[in-house]
Amino acid sequence: MDQDHVADYVSEDSAERKPIPHEVLSATVDGATPARAWREHLGLKQAEVAARMGISQPAYSQQEAKARLRGSSREKIAAALGITADQLDF
């Protein structure tokens, strides 16, 4: 791939991805899972996210504690947080 095509590829990929705030990244460096970092960044309680998902708070807590979420769980949590699934996968 020549330089022009590389630049086009990178810009297309970047245009599709939504940004991840510094505070979210920083929280994960400090040990939070991406789901927890996003929830706290958005000022939500576990019970609020669980209610949006139609599950109990303890069930959500178990999912949030996982470092790597299954695809379906990642999509459901992202929807409840109002972000894209890609923003939970970093």
CATH of the domain at 51: 1.10.260.40
- Let me know if residue 61 belongs to a domain: yes
pTM exceeds 0.95 for this model: no
The total of structural domains in the chain comes to 1
22-52 in b/e form (b: 16+ CB < 10 A) is eebeebbeeebbbbbbbbebeebebebbbeb
- Let me know if residue 12 belongs to a domain: no
| Full domain range(s) for residue 59 | 21-88
- Let me know if residue 67 belongs to a domain: yes
Summarize pLDDT for 5-29 with one digit per residue, the tens: 334 334 445 556 789 999 999 999 9
Summarize pLDDT for 67-84 with one digit per residue, the tens: 889 999 999 999 999 999
- Let me know if residue 56 belongs to a domain: yes
- Let me know if residue 14 belongs to a domain: no
pLDDT of residue 38: 98
Q: Is 30 helix (H, G, I), strand (E, B) or coil?
A: coil
